[in-house]
């Protein structure tokens, strides 16, 4: 059974996620002198970012030793309203002292293939090329269709076992092309935390966590870190007590 923690509301969920960020960051910095985290896109992470940018969490992180990556990005310029980088910059990075050189955004202004290749090079240069990059923490969201990052139902990327990063063309669920980490990197992480809120996701969450295994239809089911912790942080609206 997955590790699921349910919180009464979005603020409590955001604070729990901020506590997780702070505790993993402290451990990583103490052990390795740095903390590597991949942020998620969408709207759910906004309250988390605001908590991290505020007291008491802001002063509990050694931001100079934090390296920020992304789980996925939309192929739009970094100042576009759809940009996951812009959302993170506005809600978190403009408010904490992460050195600019520690912010490793996916270059949405490029085309998806170029941006994926460039991001894979960044990961290889940073983590080395021995094997898939092992991030200390990856935050993920879940769509109402069960997608996570930009891994959508039926995508060929759900079977990807070699590439770390891939482009995602436009399709029925993808209004703009995207770049995403593949399951190879997601499952190499030391910690993966899904943040899920809202009644609209309750049925899908139940299906993913308590239903049958059908990862090609429910990509979030693919996330099972080989040597890491997987935790679901959800609000009561998304889990009205059945999990
Ligand atoms: C994205 C995200 C995506 C998101 C889910 C949930 O770029 O959109 O990576 O996977 O996490 O779609 O989005 P919400 O948090 O907005 O519900």
Taking only the tens of pLDDT, the chain with its 243 residues reads 689 999 999 999 999 999 999 999 999 999 999 999 999 999 999 999 999 999 999 999 999 999 999 999 999 999 999 999 999 999 999 999 999 999 999 999 999 999 999 999 999 999 998 899 999 999 999 999 999 999 999 999 999 999 999 999 988 677 999 999 999 999 999 999 999 999 999 999 999 999 999 999 999 999 999 999 999 999 999 999 878
Minimum CA distance residue for ligand 1 atom 13: 42
pTM summary value: 0.98
Q: Tell me, what's the pLDDT at 13?
A: 98
Q: CA-to-CA distance for 123 and 120, rounded, in angstroms?
A: 5
Atom of ligand 1 nearest to the CA of 45: 15
Question: Per the structure block, which two tokens stand in for 40?
Answer: 């998620």
What confidence score (pLDDT) does residue 172 get? 67
Structure-token pair, residue 127:
């983590």
Query: Which residue has the least CA distance to atom 10 on ligand 1?
Result: 149
Of the residues 46, 78, 143, 168, which should be mutated to test ligand 1's pocket, given the most ligand atoms within 8 Å of the CB? 143
The pLDDT assigned to 241 comes to 82
């Amino acid at each position: 059974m997955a590790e699921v923690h349910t919180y009464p509301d979005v603020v409590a969920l955001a604070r729990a996620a901020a506590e997780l960020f702070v505790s993993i960051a402290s451990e990583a910095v103490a052990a390795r002198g740095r903390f590597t985290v991949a942020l998620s896109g969408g709207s759910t992470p906004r309250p988390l970012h605001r908590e991290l940018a505020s007291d008491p969490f802001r002063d509990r992180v050694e931001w100079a030793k934090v390296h920020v990556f992304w789980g996925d990005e939309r192929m739009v310029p970094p100042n576009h309203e759809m940009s996951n980088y812009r959302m993170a910059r506005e809600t978190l990075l403009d408010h904490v002292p992460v050195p600019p050189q520690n912010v490793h955004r996916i270059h949405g202004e490029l085309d998806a293939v170029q941006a994926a290749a460039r991001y894979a090079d960044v990961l290889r240069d940073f983590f080395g090329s021995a094997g898939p990059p092992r991030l200390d923490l990856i935050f993920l969201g879940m769509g109402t269709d069960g997608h996570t990052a930009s891994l959508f139902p039926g995508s060929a990327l759900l079977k990807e076992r070699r590439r770390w990063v891939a482009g995602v063309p436009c399709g029925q669920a993808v209004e703009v092309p995207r770049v995403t980490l593949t399951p190879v990197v997601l499952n190499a992480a030391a910690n993966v935390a899904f943040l899920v809120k809202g009644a609209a996701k309750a049925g899908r969450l139940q299906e993913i966590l308590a239903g049958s295994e059908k990862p090609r239809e429910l990509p979030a089911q693919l996330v099972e870190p080989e040597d890491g912790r997987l935790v679901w942080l959800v609000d009561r609206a998304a889990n009205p007590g059945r999990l």
